[in-house]
Structure 1
Amino acid sequence: MDENGDLIDPASTSAPDLQILGDEITLQPSGFVEQKTTSAEHEQALMNQFASFRAEPLQFLREVSLYVSGKGWRAYDRVIGQPVFYPGFSDHMKSMVMAAPLLQKRIAQLAESRVQVEEKEGLIDKAAEDHALRRAQRKSELEGALQEVAEKLTDDMICKMESKPFIRGAYYLCTQLLTRAYHQGIHVSSEEILRLRKVADMAAKKKQSIVFLPSHRSHVDYVSLQLICYRLGLTLPVVVAGDNLNIPALGSFLQHAGAMWIRRSFGDDALYGTLVQAYIDTMLQEGFNLECFIEGGRSRTGKLLPPKFGILSFVLDSILSGRVEDTIICPVSTQYDKVIETEGYVTELLGVPKKKENLADFLSSGSSVLSLKLGRVDVRFNKPWSLRMFLETQLSRLPKVPAGLSTNHHNPEVRATREKLLRILGYKVLGDINQVSVVMPTALIGTILLTLRGRGVGKDELIRRVEWLTTRVRAKGGRVAHFGNAPLSEIVDRGLEVLGKDLVGVVEGLPEPTYYAVDRFQLSFYRNMTIHLFIYEALVSAAMYMRVKMGGGPSMQDISHEELRDQVFFLSTLFRGEFIFGNEGLDANLDRTIKGLEADHVIHVHRDESGKVVKIGLSDEERNVGRENYDFYCFLIWPFIEASWLAAVSLMGLTPPSKEHEDTWIELNKAQNTAQLLGKTLYHQGDLSYFEAVNKETLRNSYLRFEQETMVHVVKSKDPKVPPRVQLDPSWRPPRDPETNALMAEGKLWDFTEQIAKSRREGKNRRDGATVSSRVLRLSDELGRALFEEAAGQDKVPSRLSAEERDTVRRARKAARSRGKLDARAML
């Protein structure tokens, strides 16, 4: 509010954007001011890309010559940070890694361990007079062999920033490709860039690294961040990349542009793990910037994934051990008008196996997007912060800090403390990313189209709802992409054009054009970009739906505060691995959400004489507008509720069909595939409202949640050829009819499924639980029986556990019981 108490529009007070397009950086004013200029006049500045050889051959050759000669900023000589891209860079880095005391100590330990084994096996005679000499010689041989292996692994792993002409050419090539696909360029906040440059300057003087932790939705993520750092004169970060991208030609190009290759899994390779740690230590000690993705892989759903702690654990050890004094963490959000890979994501989420990366596919997909008009990329940088100060603050809150926090990883107390630190760190970074994320016009349009009750929406109504959603996003502290002075109608047109007719259709020949969702599954990717802003309102609305769907008069649809709280607690616990919740606690967040919905006239609240909330119901104002705001929140969360309900129903099929199958274990991947097949069947038969509920990633998250709650047990074999196997805990298995052997609608799992169903969207075929207790339950059982028969009839994957595996499961169950309900707390 201003000094007069008036609400200030955040868009009018926030810093302007910078648009990076080809060689040009353009100031993009924030806010919205209606202008009378034609669209062509204020579109013109957005179209200044690199010259085309066919259209402007002389200008094209001039631009190429500027990069070849390194004119001005293109020279990349006066960077903020450590020097990179000079001859000998790779050899210098390699020598520092190989000389790391941590690596040399590990090589000595491995050689010593092997010598002891050879002594036990009699390969080195302990009784021989020259035993000590032979032992020392053998150890030296082993150390030399391990040194050679480490050198080869280091050479394959490290980035090779060797040549200025190469990186100038790579910048030109990547900018050409990116701005042809994303024709409106890359946008950043001027305020954030100035702050980042200042932090980078201070870090360079202290020889400290900046660790960029971006969100990950596309391969374009790391390209756009590299281009920004190059264009603004910051040292390019070394990008941690999976070795699945290290394919012929492309792999070498990326490695020389700043990629380091890392295995997806280390297994029991102690040397490789230590080598990665030594490389991370070296980069952080020397002050080189680093980039890794907090989510691990790319999000196929559009929303942030739970944090992965692989590389972060190495960075954590560097600081905790004292080998590195400090490093700077910089959370980064990257948003798109349209993500190139979404069509491929849909096929993966529907169960089509992911294809292995290869150059032919890369070239064909790259050439296919050059002529697309995908809008723009928005990159936002949260305020960087000290990792050392963060860790000191967290450790000071612990009642006891175990010894050997950075070394004794086998100590259960150390392991638990490290996991806690990593979890807090990971979710803080995700929260920081969400805080600065920009909601794109395509996300606004996708969200509106997927939260309609009707089949479609007129143009004027679509614009009105987009304007409403924009206001709600800003009211929740979110950001909406700046589009200068363009009117909202033009912004909506741009969004519709970028989404294209494959995602959004239009019915012509009506009094007004009517838009509808063509591919709801793919469009949900864009809807999921906004859900984090409204997750509290969505959960409260879904909990209220328990009463609302019963119908009757308004007073009959009111829900008591106690009943509302219990259902919100249940749902927030159900989704604690799916969404990022605040850390204020259930009651504080619930109270704030109720007050917010009341202030927005969505609900009315009954309070007793002391002011305590007693009952909650829909307000008269909300009913008068057709429940459009309340329904919006419900539509956001219903697909996820459907997916959790589907996963719970599929668990019933894991009930052993007979006593002889009591100890049978099912392949986890096959169980999840069967759950997806069950979902597709229920969708086409009308028992599932949302096809996106069969989303493989959401089902996988549900199974992980069930494992954490010990509803199911998952065992992972030491044999890499044996996939993870799953079994439904006996206490959660529904009983079978003694006469027909059919599953009965009783027991803990049935009650759990019914609790989820209370907040499901009502549909034609399920006015009560009758269809679930009969037809749906029967179908789940039939699919489950097929799994048990298949498991019993194959030899490659054992359906029974070894003695060691049984002992592992027994210990896991005991540990889960000792935790009690500590981990079952709601994250809302």
Structure 2
Amino acid sequence: MASDERQDSAPDLRILGDSVTLQPSGYVEPAFTGEDIGGEALMKNMARFRSEPLRFLREISLYVSGTGWRAYDNVIGQPIFYKGFTDHIKTQVMSATLLQTKISQLAEMRVAAEVEEGLINKNDKDFAIKKAQRLAALVQGLHEVAEKLTDQMICKFESKAFIRSAYYLVTQLLLRAYHQGIHVSSEEVLRLRSVAEEAARNKQSIIFLPCHRSHVDYVSMQLLCYRLGLALPVVVAGDNLNFPLVGSFLQHAGAMYIRRSFGDDQLYTALVQSYIDVLLQGGYNLECFIEGGRSRTGKLLPPKFGILSFVLDSLLSGRVEDAIVCPVSTQYDKVIETEGYVTELLGMPKKQENLTDFLTGGSSILSLRLGRVDVRFHEPWSLRAFINQQLSKISHISFGIKVDWKDVKNQAIRQKLLRTLGYKVLADINAVSVVMPTALIGTVLLTLRGRGVGRNELTRRVEWLTNRIRAKGGRVAHFGNAPICDVVERGLEVLGKDLVGVVEGLAEPTYYAVDRFQLSFYRNMTIHLFISESLVAAALYTRVKQGGGPSMQDMPYQDLYDQVFFLSSLFRGEFIYSGKGLAANLEKTVLELEAENVILIERDEEGRITKIGLSGAERAAGRENFDFYCFLIWPFIEASWLAAVSLMGLTPPLGQENDIWIQVSKAQESAQLLGKTLYHQGDLSYFEAVNKETLKNSYQRFEEEGIIQVIRSKDPRIPARLRIAPYWQPGRDEKTGRILASGRLWDFTENIASSRREGKNRRDGATVSTRVLSLTDMLGRKLFEDAVRGEQEGAKGGKKGKGVPTPARLSDEEQRSVDRTEVERRRRRRLEERSKL
């Protein structure tokens, strides 16, 4: 236990206003008195005009004059914040060989097309002159477009006076909301500074790759780099943030704006690649979010490979020698945007960012008390060394030889390299993430049976969970010598009564989850640590819920293996697994659960595991630890079951040809409506199961498995459409037209259901095969009716203002695309290894 505590008690750098304390190794924080130390330090160090006008004015003058560290001189990294920086970068981007070549290619392609179309007469005596003139005009035009796009995209590190003012303003705003400050490990900071010094000498960039849960992520990173004297990174941001005033402010603070989708715009793609090359060649630091957008669920999302692909190409092409990768974890006591996330996940469209919301939101957070922010830096590593190591494993390619990455075989290698890079970064982020008190409380409240939990029991379970996290190699936020009961009180205060309620006037205060959906965001911050145990528990539950004596609930090891394999494959888009393989990881997990006294293991004469079951001690304890692991995974099992059941409704009605394709978004909206109905009728245990993102992930997995076929049109105005693959399609009763509870899809759904939490009517299989199937059939019929009606209206000219109608049937070209995709999917399934736990 002592070693675990040493691991968790790494000292912090505390940033509260002007007060920065780098605590040396071995530092022990004074005992927690129950008072809000962070709040007092914040008020003391950030003067307010009304209470301390002289001190307030003095602080302003220090920033204006750039006294001490505020001057931001002698930063570690390449020179930034000087007049002419923007023009210097723009000139380098516009003169990049890659961009110039692409402009010439596009101009020549257009001229060739115009010649082919007869717009430039081949027989004209001045053909060569006119062609050259047209080519020059096109090149000039493309140059002007590229220059305008460059100006809109690149960051503009121009003024130190600006960045000093911006730092003061944002620090005032942010640290009044996160009143306990921004914390980082001093050991990690010292290591990062050492790496940054070496990178600066070699003119290499540090690529910060943080997780993304809040808009505060990039703000906190910029604040930390500024305060620690590191060169600010250029932050990749979506152009949705580039709205009046705020967009310019962020651009001068380091934002690089890019489109959410590039489509087939070759010029824009080349422009982004050229800018990335310029940054990495010049040794400028870069920051992009490995998940792409913000996580609305609290757990890490699968990696997005857009910017990573550009970075990888910079190195694979040899245009950049090396870069340093630094995965970053940013954790919060409470995330500002969680209420907005809930509305989005329940089906409300995402609201476009605008100045009014920014100003009103900025002013409102001044009165919030959201606890603290913990930023952790993984040990940085060489991207070049990683690439070379991976290529030596998966191919014969040597970097001493010029490689044609356009070759189909090499493209497959490049794609595997990119995926490996993305998932390594996610694993590194998980490795350094700290679990906040709010996450501990949210996890405990949502993994206990009953309406509520007493204060003593809550504290006991939080302490148990803390020890389990440490035993798993995880980290818990450092609170010095504060007793666990005080840490729990601090967490409850931050969560507030809108999330966790308390019933007074009882034998002891009793706490309960008020908003389980929003609280699940904090529970999901811990699930990655226990995903192996959760999958094993959910697999074993298929026997446990059948009841009977202990021996009746034991499970043959092969059956356990099969169900864990099924579940891990089902959730491979949701969670990050160890790369050691299913067999090794399953055995390791089972042995750990045996050591934890949760299960008993039977072995044969040769010591091989033959059967497992719940231990007597676990049964005597009311299955509290076993249930904990089940409760973590059950909401995701419910969501997958809901998504699978919703597919049953996509069976074409009798008399309806199997050539009607349904909009993917409408099918998912229908699944969400089905889930809300089933929840309120008692057939769904978890409202989190109607989470839009989890349902989308389930549909993505079903597509990968070939259960559904999806067609994406080249026309961006036509949304993606789907249908059930013919060999997965359920049948219908020829007399009644009802969907039959049989077939491949039904068996798949039942396999998911076998690990669901038992609740109302769960023991009566007829409930699902009659009432639930009737409901999903009713919703499915409406989808078919809407699809056919929309196509008919489109054939008649459509309705004014409705845009391009969505065709319910495929064109010949689209059908050929579906056939090719299916052939490729089957080939890939034969070649690739299945998901491993």
Q: TM-score scaled to structure 2, two decimals?
A: 0.96
Q: Distance in 2 between matches of 1:410 and 1:648?
A: 38
Residue 608 (structure 1) shift: 1.0
Retained in 1: the 8 A contact 2:327–2:380?
yes
SS of corresponding position for 1:532: helix
Matched, 1:22 2:17: yes
Structure 2 segments unaligned to the other structure (5+ residues): 795-804
SS of corresponding position for 1:329: strand
Matched, 1:82 2:91: no
1:790–1:192 CA distance, 2 compared to 1 (3 A):
same
2:4 paired residue number: 9
1:811 paired residue number: 820
Matched, 1:311 2:311: no
Residue 17 (structure 1) shift: 1.1
Deviations, residues 598-628 of structure 1 (Å, cap 9, x unaligned): 0010111111111110110111111111111
Q: Distance in 2 between matches of 1:606 and 1:344?
A: 49
Amino acid at match of 2:811: S
Matched, 1:662 2:654: no
Residue 24 (structure 1) shift: 1.1
Q: How does 1:600-749 map to 2 (within 5 A)?
A: 600-749=596-745
Residue 26 (structure 1) shift: 2.1
Deviations, residues 229-272 of structure 1 (Å, cap 9, x unaligned): 00000000000000000000000000000001000011111100
1:260 paired residue number: 256
Retained in 2: the 8 A contact 1:47–1:184?
no
Match of 1:524 among 515, 520, 529: 520
Match of 2:61 among 58, 65, 88: 65
Amino acid at match of 1:24: S
Q: Distance in 2 between matches of 1:29 and 1:456?
A: 41
- Matched length: 823
Matched, 1:225 2:221: yes
Retained in 2: the 8 A contact 1:31–1:485?
no
Residue 782 (structure 1) shift: 0.7
Match of 1:215 among 208, 211, 214: 211
1:3 paired residue number: none
Matched, 1:96 2:105: no
1:557–1:751 CA distance, 2 compared to 1 (3 A):
same
Deviations, residues 737-790 of structure 1 (Å, cap 9, x unaligned): 111111000000000000001100001222132111111111111100000000
Amino acid at match of 1:552: G
Q: Distance in 2 between matches of 1:701 and 1:282?
A: 36
Match of 2:277 among 278, 281, 287: 281
1:337 paired residue number: 333
Residue 822 (structure 1) shift: 4.5
SS of corresponding position for 2:569: helix
Q: Distance in 2 between matches of 1:559 and 1:643?
A: 25
Residue 8 (structure 1) shift: 2.1
Farther off after superposition, 658-667 or 515-524? 658-667
Deviations, residues 623-651 of structure 1 (Å, cap 9, x unaligned): 11111111000000000000000000001
Residue 417 (structure 1) shift: 1.9
Residue 826 (structure 1) shift: 2.5
1:154 paired residue number: 150
Match of 1:163 among 153, 159, 173: 159
1:291 paired residue number: 287
Match of 1:556 among 547, 552, 571: 552
RMSD of aligned Cα (Å) = 1.8
Retained in 2: the 8 A contact 1:30–1:483?
no
Deviations, residues 572-610 of structure 1 (Å, cap 9, x unaligned): 000001000000000000010011000010111111111
Retained in 2: the 8 A contact 1:208–1:288?
yes
1:188–1:510 CA distance, 2 compared to 1 (3 A):
same
Q: Distance in 1 between matches of 2:762 and 2:123?
A: 81
SS of corresponding position for 1:9: helix
Farther off after superposition, 405-414 or 661-670? 405-414
Deviations, residues 267-320 of structure 1 (Å, cap 9, x unaligned): 111100000000000000000000000000000000000000000000000000
Retained in 2: the 8 A contact 1:329–1:386?
yes
Matched, 1:503 2:499: yes
Farther off after superposition, 652-661 or 16-25? 652-661
Match of 2:386 among 390, 397, 401: 390
Match of 1:791 among 763, 784, 787: 787
Q: TM-score scaled to structure 1, two decimals?
A: 0.97
Q: Distance in 2 between matches of 1:225 and 1:540?
A: 38
SS of corresponding position for 1:19: strand
SS of corresponding position for 1:335: strand
Amino acid at match of 2:19: E
Structure 1 segments unaligned to the other structure (5+ residues): 1-5
Residue 673 (structure 1) shift: 0.2
Q: Distance in 1 between matches of 2:168 and 2:423?
A: 36
Farther off after superposition, 123-132 or 110-119? 123-132
Retained in 2: the 8 A contact 1:791–1:799?
yes
Q: Distance in 1 between matches of 2:359 and 2:8?
A: 43
Retained in 1: the 8 A contact 2:93–2:274?
yes
Retained in 1: the 8 A contact 2:442–2:522?
yes
Match of 1:39 among 18, 34, 40: 34
SS of corresponding position for 1:661: coil
Residue 121 (structure 1) shift: 1.6
Residue 34 (structure 1) shift: 10
Q: How does 1:266-665 map to 2 (within 5 A)?
A: 266-401=262-397, 411-665=407-661
Q: Distance in 2 between matches of 1:686 and 1:442?
A: 29
SS of corresponding position for 1:80: coil
Matched, 1:800 2:809: yes
Q: Distance in 2 between matches of 1:489 and 1:406?
A: 62
Q: Distance in 1 between matches of 2:516 and 2:669?
A: 21
SS of corresponding position for 2:367: coil
1:282–1:41 CA distance, 2 compared to 1 (3 A):
closer
Deviations, residues 398-434 of structure 1 (Å, cap 9, x unaligned): 2454999999676432332222111100000000000
1:269–1:290 CA distance, 2 compared to 1 (3 A):
same
1:227–1:158 CA distance, 2 compared to 1 (3 A):
same
Retained in 2: the 8 A contact 1:661–1:788?
no
Amino acid at match of 2:457: E
2:797 paired residue number: none
Q: How does 1:164-183 map to 2 (within 5 A)?
A: 164-183=160-179
Q: Distance in 1 between matches of 2:786 and 2:401?
A: 45
Q: Distance in 2 between matches of 1:359 and 1:406?
A: 49
Amino acid at match of 2:443: T
Retained in 2: the 8 A contact 1:405–1:414?
no
Farther off after superposition, 402-411 or 35-44? 402-411
SS of corresponding position for 1:355: coil
2:802 paired residue number: none
2:799 paired residue number: none
Q: Distance in 2 between matches of 1:404 and 1:716?
A: 40
Deviations, residues 544-572 of structure 1 (Å, cap 9, x unaligned): 00110011111111111010000000000
Farther off after superposition, 814-823 or 451-460? 814-823
Q: Distance in 2 between matches of 1:106 and 1:228?
A: 38
1:366–1:620 CA distance, 2 compared to 1 (3 A):
same
Retained in 2: the 8 A contact 1:301–1:524?
yes
